Amino acid sequence: MTNVKSYKQLEQQLNEVLSRVESGSYDEIDELLKDYEKGMAIASLLEEKLKTAKNTIIKVKKAE
């Protein structure tokens, strides 16, 4: 079974990463870069979910 996260779960993870970045509480630049990369990956997943939803809506409207 795959661990597919919902849009809401991904959004929450991204908000957590953004909070850490905005707080500037990093001891090492490597930690900041790791969070940046994680945030970008999550944002990419969120964007893909939105594209999929949009395409589904378009298909449903065409079928009507």
Give the pLDDT score at 13. 97
Give the model's pLDDT for residue 3. Answer: 78
For 49-56, what is the mean pLDDT? 95
Position 1 confidence tier, pLDDT thresholds 50, 70, 90: low
Phi, psi (degrees; rounded to nearest 5) at 20: -65, -45
Give every CB contact of residue 7 below 8 A, 6+ residues apart in sequence: 46, 49, 50
- Condensed to tens digits (0 to 9), the pLDDT of residues 23-47 reads 998 999 999 999 999 999 999 999 9
**Whole-angstrom distance, CA of residue 20 vs CA of residue 33:** 12
> Structure pTM?
0.83
Mean pLDDT over 40-61 rounds to 96
Structure tokens at 44: 């990419």
DSSP character for 24?
Answer: T
